[in-house]
Amino acid sequence: MSEELIETIKKEFRSNVFDETVSNNEHYLTVKKEAAVRICDYLYHTLDFPLISIFATDERAKDGCFKIHYIFSCKDDMFIIIKIKVEETSPRFATLTHKIPAANWYEREIQDMFGLVPVGHPDPRRLIHFEDWPAGFYPLRKDFDIRTKPPRVKGEYIYRRVEGEGVYEIPVGPVHAGVIEPGHFRFSVAGEPILNLEIRHFYTHKGVEKLFESLSIDKAVFLAERISGDNSVAHSAAFCQAVEKVAGVDIPPHAKYIRTILLELERIYNHFGDIAGIATDVAYPFGAAHANRLKEQVMQLNEKVTGSRLLRGMNTTGGVRRDIGDKNELISKELATLQNNFRELMELLISSPSVADRIETTGRISNEIAKGLHVVGPAGRASGIDGDTRRDHPYAAYPELEFKVPVRKAGDVNARTLVRADEVYESIMLIQQALSRLPEGDIRTDVNQIPDGYALGYTEAPRGETLYWVHISNGRIERCKVRDPSFCNWLAIEYAVLDNIVPDFPIINKSLSLSYSGNDM
Amino acid sequence: MTIEDEREIMGQRLHEKIKNIFGRSLSIREVDAGSCNACEVEITALSNPIYDMERFGIHIVASPRHADMLLVTGPVTRNMELALLKTYNATPEPKLVAAMGSCACNGGIFGETYASGGGVDRFIPVDLYIPGCPPRPQAVIFGLMVAVDKLEQKIRKLEVKA
Amino acid sequence: MFEILIKTLKTGTVTTKYPQKPDIAPLGFRGKPELLPEKCNFCGECVKACPPGVIWLDEEKGEKRFTLSCCGCIFCGMCEEVCPCGAIRLTREYELGSKTKDDLLTIIRRRV
């Protein structure tokens, strides 16, 4: 199947494809710069493969140019990566955003971090750097030192303006009223209904991708854990899997099962937290208190099992650092009580008319928009996108376990809440299956002497598909591209809030469960 | 005396402190200056029914203008620097600043980069450090007890000046 | 309404007694690193392994100094893992709130 597919693409574009390399399930096609948009358009629209990331690399030292990679997720657990070369003397490439809206932020990110300009981009403003960042400083270029502190310059950020009688703007953030991360929201409203929302993020940009390049692989695992605090396991597992793929190491089955259990525990506490947040925002404190209590119980269980409430310090390249085999009984007992409690809570939550009134039809994301922006995770599945990395690109112990992927069509807050609730039951079942089949054996293998190479690592985090592309050269990280699920999902919020009222914004925001830190990095 | 007894006595002492000093309540404004969200998860946990910090009279308030204390997380990113300073200036005196989590203490794993500042005390004076990555909710409660001592000192100092 | 009442009564009180009653972290918790001076041989393995770089070695007035700061420590336990002589151990102590950074330092001194 995969060979046929590559042949079809090569036949279609003949002379435009220079080079083809295959490693594991990743097919790299180096193509002519001018043909990139046409080929990507073909993959996206004709073959119906979603675009999951675009990133650049600085390979001037080796090949004398920058390279841009477009990653497509295909059927049969395969990825196609289209590569183009961009010369330093002509740092431009044609934009893809007109054809694939999901490309919007990636291209602006490349512009800010590498100084490569997407020609014809509908919104060429800066994304990551603020107006006080001077021109000519591109952090991810190899000749930029990580500790450089560029001077602050004067500049102005121009927001989209909505004008008309009775239209006014509400600026919110970056320091919010609640305990949430920093970000700026600019609402244009006429009375209560929202006419337009513009989000402005990257307040928490810490230079993580650059930092990866200065850390050893062992230490980088801990950095991956701290990209999006409550998705620690998903991030570190994705990073470790990418490194293991480059090294050609298959981790022991025991470690695979432990990773799976940790990933699912993470999903459960995150989903409880999200449901608690939604209950708080619809002014149903009774439900919030109970959901928070359940979340706390899982976090205390995490601490007993791994020594960390957020499951940190467990993943490592080649496996996991601690065995949890002796905690088997504790976990299954705790999960059984949790399941009963959660069922009771959901019955109360769903039957409450005051909750239903606030969440039904609120914050709708249509299937078309979700698809166009590549919305992932529970938010995507609530809008009818049947995608789940655990099933589509299996990793860890998932190929051996049975689970369902809940999908709903309504795309409103209600659907997102219910998808999460269904996923909690699936996760509990997955952990129980994994515990009952826990194989014997080692928990880690040594990953020494990693050959030069690159690979993708991916997991389904509680927020959705998390992607790492790691390039290792001489035992050090040459480039590490991180794609958090929130980087895709943030764009959807601008559509979700339209025609909703301002007081419903917190609920919509919470129901999408977006990470600021994972997005900004 | 066993370790348990000692801890019991220490716990009771802390309780006395809460009763005496938290006769007035402590209002906290949380500022995320670039954290990874883990510290926020733990601060949110402090309001859940298990830790319920409102029982000590500790509230999270919506505006720095209502706050006695800023609870700052994160290494202070370049883009959050101005917002942090504005928040600090908006908080009325006497005020306390607590740096929560390793990044806030000295940059943690993010250290100092082109975009990360490497700790809160490089930008505003810090009265309390709460290490942990992230600190357990109990560790934050303990930290607040330590901070309350300092608040007392600060108020006294102001009184002397007047 | 009735269901809410039943659920509330069934749940009872869940609030912790901390800080009146101590709350001891479970076994395996990664808390404050403890140094065992008699075992340390100043090899510097932990310095190399520490991700945030809060362990350092220096020398002053003919005295070798080994310093570990909890301020910035991410409690990953790498130092414990790499130490060849078992001189670092992560304890279950987590009540580390402190008014100064100096209070968070642990130092071993040894005459050269």
Q: Which of A177, A229, A303 is nearest residue B41 as measured by Cβ atoms?
A: A229
Asked whether residue A256 falls in the same domain as residue A399, the answer is: yes
From CA A77, how far away is CA C2, in angstroms rounded? 50
What residues of chain A lie within 8 A of the CB of C8, using their CB? 286
Question: In terms of residue numbers, what domain contains C75?
Answer: 25-111
Residue of C nearest to B136 (CA): C94
ipTM attached to this prediction: 0.91
Say if residue A263 is in the same domain as residue A305. yes
Provide the CATH number for the domain around residue A62.
Answer: 3.30.460.80
- Residue B110 sits at the chain A interface (C-beta within 8 Å): yes
Q: Which two structure tokens, joined as six digits, stand for B119?
A: 């700790």
Contacts of A445 (CB under 8 A, 6+ apart): A249, A250, A251, A252, A318, A319
In a domain, A356, yes or no: yes
For residue B40, what is the domain's CATH number? 3.40.50.12280
Residue A143, in any domain of the structure: no
Number of compact structural domains in chain C: 1
In a domain, B53, yes or no: yes
Same domain as A255, residue A194:
no
Whether residues A180 and A228 share a domain: the answer is no
pLDDT at position B162, please? 45
* Judgement on whether residues A318 and A181 belong to the same structural domain of the protein: no
Task: Look up the pTM and report it.
Answer: 0.93
The domain boundary, picked from A176, A200, A224, lies at: A200
The answer to whether residues A233 and A176 belong to one domain is no
CATH number, domain of C62, equals 3.30.70.3270
Domain extent, residue A178, equals 167-200
**Same domain assignment for residues A187 and A285:** no
Which residues does chain C have within 8 Å of residue B50's beta carbon, measured at their own beta carbons? 14-16
Q: How many Cβ atoms from other residues are within 10 Å of residue A445's Cβ?
A: 16
**Quick check: C96 and B106 CB within 8 A?**
no
- Residue B98 CB neighbour total at 10 angstroms: 25
Q: Are residues A214 and A357 in the same domain?
A: yes
Is B11 in contact with C75 (Cβ distance < 8 A)? no
Is there a domain that residue A153 lies in? no
Say if C3 falls within a structural domain: no
Q: How many domains in chain A?
A: 3
- B contacts of A303 (beta carbons < 8 Å): 136
Angle between helices A253-281 and A505-512 (to 10 degrees): 170
| In a domain? residue B115 | yes
Q: What is the pLDDT along chain A (521 residues), one digit of tens a residue?
A: 577 777 787 777 777 778 888 888 888 989 988 888 988 998 898 888 999 999 999 999 888 899 999 999 988 888 999 999 999 898 999 999 998 999 999 999 999 999 999 999 999 999 999 889 998 899 999 999 998 899 999 988 888 888 888 899 999 878 888 888 999 999 999 888 999 999 999 999 999 999 999 999 999 999 999 999 899 999 999 999 999 999 989 999 999 999 999 999 999 999 999 999 999 999 898 999 999 999 999 999 999 999 899 999 899 998 999 888 788 889 999 999 999 999 999 998 888 888 888 888 898 999 999 999 999 999 999 999 998 999 999 998 899 999 999 999 998 999 999 999 999 999 999 999 999 988 888 888 888 888 999 999 999 999 999 999 999 998 899 999 999 999 999 999 999 998 899 999 999 999 998 999 999 88
Residue A148 located in a structural domain:
no
Q: Considering only CB atoms, which residues of chain B are within 8 Å of chain C?
A: 4, 7-8, 10-12, 14-15, 18, 49-52, 55, 102, 105-109, 111, 119, 121, 127-133, 135-136, 138-147, 149-150
- Answer yes or no: is C86 within a domain: yes
Give the nearest partner residue to C21 out of B11, B136, B139, using CB atoms: B11
- Which residues of B are less than 8 Å from C23 in CB distance? 138
CB contacts of C14 in chain A (<8 Å) are: 293
**B18 lies in a domain?**
no
Mutate to test the interface with A, among B28, B31, B113, B116 (most CBs of A within 10 A): B113
Mutation pick from B13, B15, B71, B102 vs chain C, by most beta carbons of C within 10 Å, is B102
Check if C9 contacts A (Cβ < 8 Å): no
Q: A175 and A241 share a domain?
A: no
Q: What is the DSSP string of A39-50?
A: HHHIIIIIS-PP
Residue A412 counted as domain residue? yes
| Whether residue A393 is found in the same domain as residue A334 | yes
A245 and A393 both lie in a single domain: yes
Judge: B135–C96 Cβ closer than 8 Å, yes or no.
yes
A313 and A363 belong to one structural domain: yes
Q: Per the domain annotation, does A142 fall within a domain?
A: no
* Cβ-Cβ contacts under 8 Å for C15 (sequence gap 6 or more): B49, B50, B51, B52, B55
A177 to chain B, any CB pair closer than 8 A? The answer is yes
Total number of domains in chain B: 1
Nearest to A307 among C7, C8, C28 (CB): C28
CB A520, CB A502: distance < 8 Å: no
